[in-house]
Amino acid sequence: MSFTKSRSSRRNFLLGAAPAVAGGLALSGIARGAFEQTASSAMGKAGAANEKIWSNEYWAQKGDVKLYMFRKRMGAPQAGKAALPVLFLVHGSSISSTSFDLTVPGRGEYSLMDTFARDGFDVWTMDFEGYGKSSRTEGNSNIADGVEDLKAAIPVVARETGQQRFHVFGESSGALRAGAFAMAHPEVIDRLVLAAFTYTGEGSPTLTDRAKQVEFYRTHNRRPRDRDMIRSIFTRDKPGTSDPAAGEALADAELKFGNDIPTGTYLDMTTNLPIVDPLKVHSPVLIVRGEFDGIATEVDLINFYRKLPYADRQFVILPGAAHALSWGINRQQFWHVMRAFLEMPPRLDGGQAG
């Protein structure tokens, strides 16, 4: 069976099953909400067949700091139509949110936003303080600052979508931001995806090397970020796991915003780990690690995973992948495991038959 046919069959099943399940099962409040979101996603996919991807820009305000936000979904929002499930993407240390909407001419799909918009999600992202189009300040935009940035974004997303709970995805230091935000605001998190994440940093070759510059991070709020540095994201762990053309495209997109970026997340990752306490993450969690990722060892991540309080959790290692999961040659595998986790059918109460 082809991948396209498989997805089509799953969509038809969800659409056909929705009325029967809704009418025949007395779901708990949480399960009902999860079911409605799953059904909404399925209907969003079906209704999007003849629609184009719609996008819009927004601004959140954090004191005097303006934070740029960007959104993509299939078709413009319309009054009276069911809201789509929200997926919020959190970027990492050396790049802005433009990385989630990357175009690599002649090399296939690289936009995470377009991919999940087509899958029926209302996809949002933002530039953290000091990155991309957001205000450039004298601060170093550390993990705690990122949590405050995300707090400022909540009212904008809630107002525009009508949704009070969101799926949140974070990659690299963005996973630390997302995890710290989930600890601070569990009421907002639906399902949490942590990719290229690190827990204690023990045994990490990437962080060991990065720690050689710790005094610079302590004494400077911004660090150099040139084309070679961006290329290194794709090559430092295992050359060949990413297409060099993707690194060049990302550098072209990012260097429009300048050749330096904040040091805060690098300082946190070399001196302040662990930042995310697994016992305080009260949501379903997916942890995705590339086979060759040097930011964290498998043992480090398993130690985090085992402490998570929710039974609804998954740990996935993707073969042939490194740190740059979103832009790797095998990025479709990453999309697949993330999609499957976000579309997990709701758990039913004991004794209920399917």
Give pLDDT tens digits for 167-191.
Answer: 999 999 999 999 999 999 999 999 9
- The CA distance from 289 to 339, in Å, is 16
- What's the whole-number mean pLDDT along residues 53-72? 98
105-123 mean pLDDT: 97
pLDDT of 63 = 96
> Quick one: average pLDDT of 142-159?
98
More confident residue, 95 or 38: 95
Q: What is the mean pLDDT of residues 3-7?
A: 39
Report percent pLDDT > 70 for the chain.
84
Distance, CA of 143 to CA of 176 (rounded, Å): 7
Q: Rounded mean pLDDT of 18-36?
A: 38
Identify the pLDDT of residue 10.
40
Place 352 in a pLDDT band, splitting at 50, 70 and 90.
low
- pLDDT number for residue 54: 98
In sequence order, what are the beta bridge partners of 350?
Answer: none
pLDDT for res 25: 30
- Alpha carbon distance 252, 244 (integer Å): 13
Query: Which residues on adjacent β-strands are paired with residue 68?
Result: 59
pLDDT in tens, 152-166: 999 999 999 999 999
**Is residue 232 very low, low, confident or very high in pLDDT (cuts 50, 70, 90)?**
very high
Return the structure tokens found at 112: 């995470």
Cβ atoms of 246 and 216 within 8 Å: the answer is: no
The pLDDT mean for the chain works out to 88
Per-residue pLDDT, 45: 56
Residue whose C-alpha is closest to residue 346's, from 45, 82, 27, 122: 27
Nearest to 128 by CA among 156, 159, 89: 89
Count of C-beta atoms within a 10 Å radius of residue 256: 11
Report d(CA 273, CA 275) in Å as an integer. 5
Q: Name the band, by pLDDT with cuts 50, 70 and 90, for residue 9.
A: very low
pLDDT over threshold 90, residue 351: no
Mean pLDDT along residues 63-85: 96
Instruction: Using the predicted structure, report yes or no on whether residue 17 has a pLDDT greater than 80.
Output: no
